[in-house]
Amino acid sequence: NAGVTQTPKFRVLKTGQSMTLLCAQDMNHEYMYWYRQDPGMGLRLIHYSVGEGTTAKGEVPDGYNVSRLKKQNFLLGLESAAPSQTSVYFCASRDSHSGAFFGQGTRLTVV
Amino acid sequence: AQRVTQPEKLLSVFKGAPVELKCNYSYSGSPELFWYVQYSRQRLQLLLRHISRESIKGFTADLNKGETSFHLKKPFAQEEDSAMYYCALRDYTGNQFYFGTGTSLTVIP
């Protein structure tokens, strides 16, 4: 049982490049989340989804887009990467009654 | 508005000493509170949630609605408890989790 898996684990981008982070969960969870983790700021919610085909903005959505075409996958896209998006990104999922289960994180550096 | 406040960024205690990590929340409804732990370069793991009222790895946390607090406590700290601890709140819709800024706990041998 893999739980929540994030791809890739590390990435270096140049300013202006685009990329997509993939989050996959095998627990049949309805809810999925993307967070970024920065020193001194904790985890901040970027976007989330309450079910297949739905997405919603979190606290810091600017510069990011998401899609939930399949229940098990939640994609986070950066259209034009900026150095301010250098961070560690965590995906999480949960069902109606559980706490959140997190992926192992993606360390992104934008130069 | 900051819904979850963890006032201590860093906390150091000696092995065997009691430890308390503070968490205060601001929420008008009935929140659900959680503690998550992140060991070095690992993913966040659920440590405990207030509705289950259980003790995990010797840690306990009581929801105090009067003081709007959910402090995490352990009577005797161990070296393996050194980690980052996050307090989290789930809103009444159940859709969003709000995390505090975290407390880095170091247990000194």
pLDDT in tens, A19-75: 999 999 999 999 999 999 998 888 999 999 999 999 999 989 999 999 999 999 999
> Looking at the predicted structure, is the pLDDT value of residue B103 above 90?
yes
B43: nearest CB among A33, A42, A105: A105
**Residue B94: its pLDDT value, please?**
65
Contact status of A22 with chain B (Cβ, < 8 Å): no
**Residue B3: its pLDDT value, please?**
86
Contact status of B70 with chain A (Cβ, < 8 Å): no
Contact A56 B100 (CB under 8 A): no
SS3 letters across chain B: CCCEECCCCEEEEECCCCEEECCEECCCCCCEEEEEEECCCCCCEEEEECCCCCCECCEEECCECCCCECCEEECCCCHHHCEEEEEEEECCCCCCEEECCCEEEEEEC
Q: Render pLDDT for B27-86 as a digit per residue (tens, 0 to 9).
A: 877 788 999 999 988 899 999 988 777 778 899 998 888 899 999 999 999 999 999 999
> Looking at the predicted structure, is the pLDDT value of residue A97 above 80?
no
**Residue A22: its pLDDT value, please?**
97
**Residue B1: its pLDDT value, please?**
56
Q: Render pLDDT for B3-22 as a digit per residue (tens, 0 to 9).
A: 899 999 999 999 999 999 99
